[in-house]
Amino acid sequence: MDKTVREHIQNLEQKRNLLSAHVMDEADAKQRNQLESELRAVEAALKFYQDALETERRLSQWRPA
């Protein structure tokens, strides 16, 4: 893995935008359901990475008593 977390987030955001556009344009219900399923998976991965960054930010600010 040569990518940073931020690069992964950027790639996922691009994929989310692309999938969202395809979902809106897709007329076939079966294909649209597949695209929506992929979109949910991308959104879940994106949330995971964003939460990881937030946790890292909080830990870097934490100072033991």
Domain ranges of the chain: 5-59
**DSSP code, position 64:** -
Q: Provide mean pLDDT across the span 18-41.
A: 96
- Identify which of 14, 16, 11 has the alpha carbon closest to the alpha carbon of residue 38: 16
Average pLDDT, the chain: 91
- Structure token digits, residue 15: 């994929």
63 CA to centre of own chain = 30
Reported pTM: 0.81
